[in-house]
Amino acid sequence: MTIPTQQVAAVYHRRVGDITITAIGDGHLDGSMAVIQNIPAEEAAQLLRDAFRPVPRRTAVNTFLIHAGGRTALVDTGCGPAMAATGGKLFDNLAAAGVDPGSIDTVLLTHMHPDHSNGLSRDGQALFPNAELVMHAAELAHWHDDAAMARADEVGRQRNFQAARDQAAPYRGRTRTFTGGEVFPGVTAMPFPGHTPGHSGYLLASGRETLLIWGDIIHVPEIQIPRPEVTMAFDVDPVQAAATRRRVFDMVATDGLATAGMHMHFPGFLHLLRRGEGYAMLPEAFATAL
């Protein structure tokens, strides 16, 4: 018997009415606790230890493939090869799922931080050669704002602003922006500003079923779900990000809305419950049938 030396492909399918959504894992990133803000460092670390999670933090990176309205859309593109060896697994997992990147006709971005958009292109070539690139108008404008870029530190200028520009450049001429509303049948954009100016989620609806892909509403679920006031150093507007998180938490808990997140533990599907004055997450159980 051969002893396994690696995990199986990170691919998981789910139905939302007539829509099929597939979680495609991009891996994970291990990062500093110093980016977790508005909470004492030891308290943040204890919340992770209490949940049997690594300290320093380990953050999952998910993308989602959507078959809806006659479209094949990918929500976010992961880390690409430049961030960490543990990330950038999108294309291996697409292959495992039998999906050719050339068959994807739409790439929807929640926002343009590098762990979401670094998989768009490489060496000036689009990695999704037949795809339209779609994002909030404020997102594209922010990362192309020279004044905002000048205010950033050198790391931010290169890793965020310049990288976003380089990644989007091969899609010039086939980029579409929105401010909200339906992006194609069955999928509606929902602006969730704060983490970035154009940060957005996508609501899937078919028949009586719905599911919200909420993007980066949270980065570290064991901390930010019970403590929604906790922000991250890479929130462009942390006050607005925290307010948006509370608004989205209230919406999904009140409506019982099924949710998926880019930084939830793979495959990333959950419900959010009110628990006393706060919230608790209920990861969705694995389903063997579609």
Integer Cα distance of 102 and 44 in angstroms: 42
Give the pLDDT of residue 1: 85
- Per residue in 166-181, pLDDT (tens digit) is 999 999 999 999 999 9
Coil, strand or helix: which one is 20? Answer: strand
Which uninterrupted H or E stretch holds 19? Answer: strand 19-30
The Cα 70–Cα 72 span in angstroms is 7
| Strand pairing category for 36-37 and 231-232 | antiparallel
**Which alpha helices (H) appear in 12-170, and where do they start and end?**
41-50, 90-96, 114-117, 137-143, 146-151, 154-156, 163-168
Distance CA 225, CA 269 (A): 14
Confidence tier at 290 by pLDDT (50, 70, 90): confident
Q: Which helix (H) or strand (E) holds 12?
A: strand 11-16
Helix (H, G, I), strand (E, B) or coil at 253: helix
Mean pLDDT across 3-25 = 96
pLDDT at 138: 98
**Sequence-separated (6 or more) residues with CB below 8 Å from residue 249:** 217, 225, 228, 272, 279
On the 0-12 / 13-18 / 19+ scale of CB atoms within 10 A, 183 is buried
CA 64/CA 24 separation, integer angstroms: 6
pLDDT given for residue 176 in this prediction: 98
At 5, the pLDDT band (50, 70, 90 cuts) reads very high
- Other beta carbons within 10 angstroms of residue 85's beta carbon come to 8
Domains of the chain as residue ranges with CATH: 11-283 (3.60.15.10)
State the CB neighbour count (10 A cutoff) for residue 46.
13
- Residue 230's SS3 state is coil
Phi-psi region of 256 (alpha: psi -120 to 50; beta: other; left: phi over 0): left
pLDDT tens digits, one per residue of 35-48: 999 999 999 999 99
Residue 282 has a pLDDT of 97
Q: Which pLDDT does position 8 carry in this prediction?
A: 93
Q: Which tokens belong to 92?
A: 């291996």
- CA 48 to CA 257: how far, in whole Å? 26
| Tokens at 184, concatenated | 């194609």
Q: pLDDT tens digits for 73-129?
A: 999 999 999 899 999 999 999 999 999 999 999 999 999 999 999 999 999 999 999
Rounded-to-integer distance, Cα 162 and Cα 152, Å: 11
Tokens of 249: 């938490």
Q: For residue range 186-236, what is the model confidence (pLDDT) as tens digits?
A: 999 999 999 999 999 999 999 999 999 999 999 999 999 999 999 999 999
Interatomic CA distance for residues 188 and 135, integer angstroms = 12
CA distance linking residue 86 with residue 113, whole number of Å: 17
